[in-house]
Amino acid sequence: MYGKYRLVRQDDNGHKYLMNAGDDREALERDKDELEAHKHKQTYWVEENIGELKDSL
């Protein structure tokens, strides 16, 4: 997925996953808000799409 920004999910084990990417940060923030509304244990955020996505273990 390409774009200036990316939507990332981190599960409760610390693994990070790319959920979506694009140039419209506001659209990705809306996607994040929708995912967070499901009350899962995962954490979501939007960040600049720079470099490789790495797990934080």
What pLDDT shows up at residue 56?
53
- Tell me the helices (H) and strands (E) count for the chain, helix number first: 1, 3
54 in any annotated domain: no
Structural domain contains residue 55? no
Is 33 among the domain residues? yes
Residue 20's domain comprises: 5-48
Number of domains in the chain: 1
pLDDT of residue 57: 42
The vertex-44 CA angle with 38 and 46, nearest 5°, equals 135
Distance CA 2, CA 54 (A): 17
DSSP label at residue 37:
T
pLDDT tens-digit readout, 2-57 = 899 999 999 988 999 999 999 999 999 999 999 999 877 799 999 999 888 876 54
Instruction: Note the pLDDT of residue 10.
Output: 94
Q: Confirm whether 30 is domain-assigned.
A: yes
Alpha carbon distance 23, 32 (integer Å): 15
Has residue 56 been placed in a domain?
no
31 is a domain residue? yes
